[in-house]
């Protein structure tokens, strides 16, 4: 009988230890999840489109409280379903020249705005809601704003290049009448929630994908009259905020010059610091980039 009691005590102690182990594993998982959703996330830079600020092999941290963490149905997103995204208020709003990580808004086709939870881009914000942006001889210009925007050396390189391959020069909205290209582009108004614009042929070409995404309806233009699901409209009031994003290495960056404007709710957060950097060709740790603050 005494041996049985000892064995029972051992089994109970073992069961308690197992429960304790699972409890602490659960706590760690919850803390990790809360940290990923509300505080911080890590991303690896896969290309040189943000050089010289960021380069291939950099591992960066995104600090989410700056512009606010997002809340959405992660399980629906994992099944590649579109879901409502809400944002908790952050410390401040997105500012020009912020480097942002975001869900690429055209993961399947440039003809339709969609979110893919595993497809991320990192670019610099050039224009915010309410800005009117142009590119003049390769340089970004904002009406009424005289501060430097983006990587000036990259823009100088574009300005000094005499000839471009057609697939690099030709850009959003890929309209032969408008004729925009990466050296001469716009003017493009960047809408914010509540902004109203007249719906003519030009605005149809520029904002078609955004309006279809907001309304979940088809937009068509015939004889300079714009229709939503067959109903003619003279103007449109936007429901969301949008941003113009560009890579620091302008000749090797797929950005808003090619695919258009970024919806605010697709922004993950502001890039904060490089926590690790490994040369992809040599495998060596780049100590000079360790804990470099991203600007």
Beta carbons within 8 Å of 47's beta carbon, 6+ residues apart: 56, 252
pLDDT digits (tens, 9 = 90+) for 172-222: 999 999 999 999 999 999 999 999 999 999 999 999 999 999 999 999 999
Q: What per-residue confidence (pLDDT) applies to 13?
A: 73
What sign for the dihedral angle of Cα 179, 183, 187, 189? positive
How far is Cα of residue 17 from the mean position of the Cα atoms in its chain? 45
- Count of helix runs (H) and strand runs (E) in the chain: 6, 18
Q: What per-residue confidence (pLDDT) applies to 37?
A: 64
Q: Domain 38-195+238-293 class?
A: mainly beta
Q: Rounded to whole angstroms, how far apart are CA atoms 191 and 9?
A: 69
Q: Rounded to whole angstroms, how far apart are CA atoms 103 and 105?
A: 6
102 bridge partner residues: 121, 267
Mean pLDDT of 148-168: 85
- Neighbouring CB atoms inside 10 A of 10's CB total 10
Mean pLDDT of 53-64: 96
Of 116, 120, 122, nearest in space to 271 by CA: 122
Contact in structure between 33 and 25 (CB atoms under 8 Å): no
Tracing tokens 């992809």 back to the chain, one arrives at 280
Structural domain boundaries of the chain?
38-195+238-293
Lookup: tokens for 234:
């003279």
How far is Cα of residue 4 from the mean position of the Cα atoms in its chain? 63
Contact in structure between 173 and 180 (CB atoms under 8 Å): yes
Helix (H) or strand (E) holding 277, with range, is strand 267-277
**Rounded to a whole number, what is the largest CA-CA distance in the chain?**
96
Termini Cα distance of the chain = 72
Contact in structure between 124 and 294 (CB atoms under 8 Å): no
Whether residue 93 is predicted with pLDDT greater than 90 in this model: the reply is yes
pLDDT digits (tens, 9 = 90+) for 211-260: 999 999 999 999 889 999 999 999 999 999 999 999 999 999 999 999 99
Q: Is 163 helix (H, G, I), strand (E, B) or coil?
A: coil
Q: Rounded to whole angstroms, how far apart are CA atoms 256 and 247?
A: 9
**Rounded percentage of the chain residues whose pLDDT exceeds 90:** 71
Q: Rounded to whole angstroms, how far apart are CA atoms 38 and 17?
A: 31
Q: Considering the chain, what is the average pLDDT of its residues?
A: 90
β-pairing, 235-237 vs 242-246, is unpaired
Whether residue 31 is predicted with pLDDT greater than 70 in this model: the reply is no
Q: Rounded to whole angstroms, how far apart are CA atoms 262 and 267?
A: 8
Q: Rounded to whole angstroms, how far apart are CA atoms 144 and 127?
A: 12
């Amino acid at each position: 009988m005494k041996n049985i009691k000892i064995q029972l005590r051992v089994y109970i102690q073992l069961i308690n230890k197992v429960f304790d182990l699972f409890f602490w594993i659960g706590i760690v998982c919850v803390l990790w999840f809360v940290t990923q959703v509300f505080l911080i996330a890590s991303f690896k830079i896969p290309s040189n489109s943000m050089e010289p600020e960021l380069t291939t092999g950099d591992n960066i941290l995104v600090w989410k409280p700056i512009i606010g963490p997002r809340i959405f149905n992660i399980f629906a997103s994992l099944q590649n379903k579109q879901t409502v995204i809400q944002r908790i208020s952050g410390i401040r709003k997105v500012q020009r020249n912020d480097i942002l990580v975001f869900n690429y808004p055209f993961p399947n086709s440039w003809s339709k705005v969609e979110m893919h939870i595993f497809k991320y881009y990192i670019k610099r914000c050039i224009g915010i809601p309410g800005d009117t942006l142009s590119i003049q001889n390769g340089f970004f210009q904002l009406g009424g704003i005289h501060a430097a925007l983006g990587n000036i050396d990259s823009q100088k390189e574009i300005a000094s290049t005499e000839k471009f391959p057609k697939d690099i020069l030709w850009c959003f909205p890929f309209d032969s009448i408008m004729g925009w290209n990466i050296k001469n582009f716009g003017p493009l108004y960047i809408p914010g929630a509540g902004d109203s614009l007249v719906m003519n042929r030009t605005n149809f070409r520029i904002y078609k994908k955004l309006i279809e995404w907001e309304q979940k309806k088809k937009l068509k233009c015939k004889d300079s009259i714009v229709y939503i699901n067959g109903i003619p409209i003279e103007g449109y009031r936007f429901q969301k905020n949008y941003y113009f994003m560009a890579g620091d290495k302008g000749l090797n960056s797929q950005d808003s010059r090619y695919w258009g404007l970024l919806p605010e709710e697709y922004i993950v957060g502001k890039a904060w610091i490089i926590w690790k950097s490994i040369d992809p060709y040599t495998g060596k740790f780049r100590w000079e980039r360790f804990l470099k603050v991203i600007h």
